[in-house]
Amino acid sequence: MNETIVSYLGETLGLNFNWLGTLVIFLIASLILASFLALIGGLGTYAERKISADIQMRYGPNRVGPYGILQFLADGVKMLLKEDCIPRESDKFIFKLAPILCFAGVLASLAVLPLSSGFILSDLNVGIFYLLGVTSVVGVGIFLGGYSSNSKWAMLGGMRGASQIISYEVPVTLTILSVVMIAGGLSLNTLVGGQGAYPNGWYLFHNPFSFIGFFIYFIGSLAETNRAPFDLPEAESELVSGYHTEFSGMRFAFFALSEYIEVFVLCAIAAALFLGGYNVPFRLGGDGLLGQLFQLVVFFAKSFLLYYVVIWVRWTLPRMRVDHLMVLCWKYLTPIALFNLVGTAIWMYCFNGRSMYMILKHFLMASGQ
């Protein structure tokens, strides 16, 4: 297990980097990751429109580039050319700060994203805890964006956003606690490394509680990123555009971009925590750079599958009501998540941390003899 990408590269290439080399490699890797994730965010908007068009039997964007794939670039240029309107009676400082908070929070969460066993920018020993903390900065950005606009629609959207994001953080945190309990560590490499390459080794099928936990985590992360059916903070038909009603041009673009990147980050974390992360079947490619490539492919395949499900859910289910949303969180998801936590603890104690598959195998082998 390597702590950072620098130590991985140093080990693979047989080099020892001084502080300047470390800084340069970190900077290059962070730049690659940030620009790649920004590209994924941009393509996410394209995928969203194309998949929604597919679901509703339309064509979707098909003019800019082949199959309209350059649509997000055209959108970006358009955003750059838009006039920057700031309401006269708004709180100007906070108004300008809000998109920066959103974007910085999302980008900072990329530091612990376990893309492969080598390409993890920094495998912090408090990895998942850090991720939880940093992604909640996005909630602060959304609330401040709504609050500072001094517009009723934005205010309603910001308040709804804040209450929704903090509420759904509770079941998500409790579910992550039960996964941490199975893995026995907080760093992302520990969490992914404890799983196998096949579904029988995934934490999804470790015990019945983690199976339920995956769905709680997924629903919670949908709500945390304000995706339908929980897109109340930006409900178009009720609140014009919610918390970013007053934002125009690039400031709006950063809200939209950070939302799409955050959806990807949460899908990637779901893939890493429950679906085996970067573990490659048959150990294809070994431990070298080829193996890292296979790991990247596997990890992104799982994440994009979940990303598709998120978009699919958005264009299938109708929006929830505010009181239903809160009832779902506090009266269903939170008690179930608490039950899961207790259940996982007892399971770990009774079976000494073994998974369902291992117990079944043991049982079958014992009966066969």
Q: Which of residues 204-243 bind other proteins (CB under 8 A)?
A: 240
Three-state DSSP state, 122: strand
Q: Closest distance between other proteins and the C-beta of residue 122, in Å? A: 4
Closest by Cα among 183, 181, 180 to 194: 183
Q: Which of residues 29-48 bind other proteins (CB under 8 A)?
A: 29-31, 33-34, 38
Alpha-carbon torsion (307, 311, 317, 323), positive or negative: positive
Q: Is the CB of 25 or the CB of 53 nearer to other proteins?
A: 25
d(CA 353, CA 207): 10
Q: Closest distance between other proteins and the C-beta of residue 2, in Å? A: 11
Q: Closest distance between other proteins and the C-beta of residue 366, in Å? A: 22
Q: Is the CB of 166 or the CB of 296 nearer to other proteins?
A: 166
Q: Which of residues 46-105 bind other proteins (CB under 8 A)?
A: 79-90, 99-100, 103-104
Q: Does 116 bind other proteins (CB under 8 A)?
A: no
User: Are 48 and 54 spatial neighbours (Cβ–Cβ below 8 Å)?
Assistant: no
Q: Which of residues 139-158 bind other proteins (CB under 8 A)?
A: 147, 149-155
Q: Does 281 bind other proteins (CB under 8 A)?
A: no
Q: Where are the alpha helices (DSSP H) in 202-248?
A: 208-224, 236-239
d(CA 314, CA 54): 13
Q: Does 131 bind other proteins (CB under 8 A)?
A: no
d(CA 302, CA 269): 10
* Residues near other proteins (CB under 8 A), total: 93
Q: Please give the structure tokens belonging to residue 106.
A: 């999302």
Q: Does 173 bind other proteins (CB under 8 A)?
A: yes
**What are the backbone dihedrals phi and psi of residue 4, each rounded to the nearest 5 degrees, phi first?**
-135, 175
Q: Closest distance between other proteins and the C-beta of residue 222, in Å? A: 18
Q: Which of residues 323-342 bind other proteins (CB under 8 A)?
A: 323, 326-327, 330-331, 334-335, 338, 341-342
Residue 286 β-bridge partners: none
Stretch that binds other proteins, among 26-34, 223-231, 267-275, 312-320 (CB under 8 A): 26-34
Stretch that binds other proteins, among 55-63, 262-270, 309-317, 322-330 (CB under 8 A): 322-330
Q: Does 23 bind other proteins (CB under 8 A)?
A: yes
Closest by Cα among 116, 281, 112, 136 to 185: 112
Residue 4 β-bridge partners: 122
Q: At a CB cut-off of 8 Å and minimum separation 6, what does 309 contact?
A: none
Task: Pick from 65, 185, 193, 201 the residue near other proteins by CB under 8 A.
Answer: 185
